[in-house]
Amino acid sequence: MWITSSFTRFIVFVPDRPCLRVHQRGVPLTRRALITGITGQDGSYLAEDLLEQGYEVWGLVRGQANPHVARLRKHIGDVQIITGDLLDQGSLISAVEQVQPDEVYNLGAISYVPMSWQQAELTAEVTGMGPLRVLEAIRVVSGISASRTTEPRAQIRFYQASSSEMFGQVRETPQSELTPFHPRSPYGVAKTYGHFITQNYRESYGMFAVSGILFNHESPRRGAEFVTRKVSLGVARIKLGLATELRLGNLDARRDWGFAGDYAKAMRMMLTTDRPEDYVIGTGVTRSVRELVELAFATVGLNWEDHVVLDSKYTRPAEVDLLCADPKKAREQLGWEPEVTFEELVAMMVESDLALLSFSNRPEEEPFSPDHW
Ligand code: NAP
Ligand code: G4F
């Protein structure tokens, strides 16, 4: 064992434990975060934000040779990796035990809605039961008794990535923290379980466990299967003469789209408030897929009607027609505001994909792959 010290922090290294900090009057000198889903879009932005804030960041990664880790390492070097899987309770207990985090962000999920109809059971296990397993890992490692206690205590704080998909067939517009849920997909149902089990652990054990009900948020790092990235990549391919058409499903669906970087900040803010509460995060403006498409094509001087082809392959068994956030609580209590407008977001994504496809020096690789952040 050896000890280093500086004016700002003390670090104690113990051979089989990663890094135990010395606390001053019970306050950790550097906050340590553990993120599940760190290889996804939001994981990358959250890791960047936390590192900027001086956190030590750990990411839970599944699989013995996860190809997404190289991409993460390339873009965000300072993250430390620990293996584990949301399907495996023991691995989560080990991860929390080893990392000894101050904060745990559960972003891991099967997040693509159409896939949740094809693999409904797996979605329930990963997206629904995953949060329960992370909460249990925190409970066990923190020594919180399974018998009921609502005494708040100094402990690991937990963030659950809840979703506006839970509102589904909306009961009111805009949707707030008080709007009832009516999920329309196995994904939405699984997220609703994750949401309520988080609330239940807060109420049952006094845990600092919160859910952010996030509306759609996008970026150049978005997976190519989601509509915004599919459109930005499609527009770039057509502009560069690599394709002539873009096949899409329901153009009438409306979403409240924001920038993922802004939403990652909201996650951190929710875990640094005094009281554990749930928050809706969105812009408060709703647009149709048609408006998205029109704007994206116009960005490069093209008319969308010359290129977009409707394809029933992309319509869903049950659709969420309209989402629009009421982010008043987050604005008033967290001081959170989105910074990037819809127009800026669309331009950012189209420009990024134009650059990606123009300058790719490895054209043999599939440029639609999200591996190309
Ligand atoms: P994403 O890009 O699809 O990332 C999903 C992450 O989950 C990946 O890192 C993936 O890791 C991981 N994962 C999948 N199965 C796992 C398992 N069995 N064990 C551990 N990790 C697993 O999703 P995102 O857009 O960043 O979204 C982050 C979270 O917010 C998700 O929970 C999503 O449902 C939720 N959410 C997203 C939005 C949005 O608009 N983006 C809105 C509301 C809520 P691999 O690299 O191993 O595949
Ligand atoms: O981009 P999407 O696939 O996102 P969706 O289903 O709204 O889900 C995303 O946001 C949720 C938050 O509300 C997250 F919880 C979830 O993890 C995910 O990040 O589809 C958006 C809309 C849908 O109405 C869909 O029917 O676009 C419509 N759409 C039309 N044509 C299409 C397509 N969607 C996709 N993916 N591909 C199409 O060709």
pLDDT in tens, 287-346: 999 999 999 999 999 999 999 999 999 999 999 999 999 999 999 999 999 999 999 999
User: How far is residue 235's CA from residue 351's CA, in Å, rounded to a whole number?
Assistant: 10
pLDDT confidence of residue 75: 83
Stretch 275-281: mean pLDDT: 98
pLDDT band at 31 (very low <50, low <70, confident <90, very high): very high
Q: Is a pLDDT exceeding 90 seen at residue 259?
A: yes
Q: Assess whether the C-beta atom of 83 lies below 6 angstroms from ligand 2.
A: no
- By most ligand atoms within 8 Å of CB, the mutation choice from 185, 226, 292 for ligand 2 is 226
Instruction: Report CA(135)–ligand 2 centroid distance (Å).
Output: 28
Q: Parallel, antiparallel, or unpaired for β 56-61 and 80-83?
A: parallel
Helix/strand/coil for 22: coil
Q: Is a pLDDT exceeding 50 seen at residue 7?
A: no
Instruction: Determine whether 192 is an active site residue.
Output: yes
Q: Percentage of residues in the chain with pLDDT exceeding 90?
A: 82
Q: Is a pLDDT exceeding 70 seen at residue 125?
A: yes
Q: Is a pLDDT exceeding 70 seen at residue 24?
A: no
Q: Which residue has the higher pLDDT, 364 or 119?
A: 119
pLDDT confidence of residue 228: 98
pLDDT confidence of residue 366: 53
Note the pTM of the prediction, 2 decimals. 0.92
Q: Which residue has the higher pLDDT, 73 or 85?
A: 85
pLDDT band at 19 (very low <50, low <70, confident <90, very high): very low
Ligand nearest to the Cα of 81, by number? 1
pLDDT confidence of residue 365: 53
Q: Which residue has the higher pLDDT, 339 or 373?
A: 339
What atom in ligand 1 is closest to the CA of residue 370? 2
pLDDT confidence of residue 360: 65
pLDDT band at 370 (very low <50, low <70, confident <90, very high): low
Q: Assess whether the C-beta atom of 230 lies below 6 angstroms from ligand 2.
A: yes
**CA-proximal residue: ligand 1, atom 38 (nearest):** 216
User: How far is residue 84's CA from residue 90's CA, in Å, rounded to a whole number?
Assistant: 9
- By most ligand atoms within 8 Å of CB, the mutation choice from 72, 107, 162 for ligand 1 is 107
Q: Among 127, 179, 192, 283, which one carries the catalytic annotation?
A: 192
Instruction: Report CA(344)–ligand 2 centroid distance (Å).
Output: 20
pLDDT confidence of residue 151: 63
pLDDT confidence of residue 147: 72
What atom in ligand 1 is closest to the CA of residue 108? 7
**Pure H helices in the chain:** 41-52, 68-75, 89-99, 113-118, 120-123, 129-142, 186-205, 227-239, 260-271, 289-299, 328-329, 342-359
pLDDT confidence of residue 148: 63
Q: What are phi and psi of 106, to 5 degrees?
A: -95, 90
